[in-house]
Amino acid sequence: MSKVIILGAAGHIARLAAKQLIKETDDQLTLFVRHPKKLTDVDENRETVVVGDVNDEEELTKALKGQDLVYANLGPDDTDKMIPHIVNAMHNAGLKRLIWISTLGVFDEVPGKFGEWNKQMLNPSGYLPTQAKAASEIEASDLDYTIVRPNWLTNKDEVAYETTGRHDDMKGTEVSRKSVADYVVKLIQNPQKDVRTSTGLNKPNTDGDKPSFY
């Protein structure tokens, strides 16, 4: 049994991953959230809700103590500002393993017309530069991290994905949130998997100039 803390636990992917962990493991989960009212389906036997802000290092350190692994599903805003606080709190709590949900394009790894479209969609809002800076800060840390880079997300009820490496071109144009959750669960079940690297996730055979839903 592992003790896993989920930062940003009210998010869609985070809830999917938590439900899968409840079903497939005996792990104990700590759900770290700012707005607990967004959590409507908590398993009180296996999930403990902690209200807090990741930017409050003292508060976060307290929540991290006794945990085995940190899964962060934060965003979309100011993640580059959150990372120093998370790294410091993990150091203070004696934790090393971090699973971080990022996005495609943070390493300029999306080729062709789809890559150009992705930049046009994500750069104006500042989302891509912020996520890229956060990824760079994580790579510069001494943590045992995995940076997860999902393609454009769908709500399809399917687990269908393939992976690409840190220095590979991104494939496809989309992937389901359920697939991302499944990969996260695989990392939690095998904490030595894909340590100190980044993994891209896409649904096979979805190549194109943009996702099918655009």
The structural domains of the chain, with segments of one domain joined by +, span 3-202
- The pLDDT of residue 9 is 98
How would residue 76 be classed by pLDDT, with cut points 50, 70 and 90? confident
How would residue 209 be classed by pLDDT, with cut points 50, 70 and 90? very high
How would residue 65 be classed by pLDDT, with cut points 50, 70 and 90? very high
Provide the H-helix boundaries in the chain.
12-24, 57-64, 79-93, 112-122, 127-139, 177-189
Mean pLDDT value across residues 178-182: 98
Global model pTM greater than 0.85? yes
- Whose CA is closest to 31, among 21, 22, 18, 20? 18
Name the percent of the chain lying above pLDDT 70: 100
The CA distance from 117 to 210, in Å, is 7
How would residue 77 be classed by pLDDT, with cut points 50, 70 and 90? confident
The CA distance from 41 to 88, in Å, is 31
Round the average pLDDT of the chain to a whole number and report it. 97
How would residue 124 be classed by pLDDT, with cut points 50, 70 and 90? confident
Mean pLDDT value across residues 182-191: 98
The CA distance from 64 to 75, in Å, is 19
- CATH T-level fold of 3-202: Rossmann fold (3.40.50)
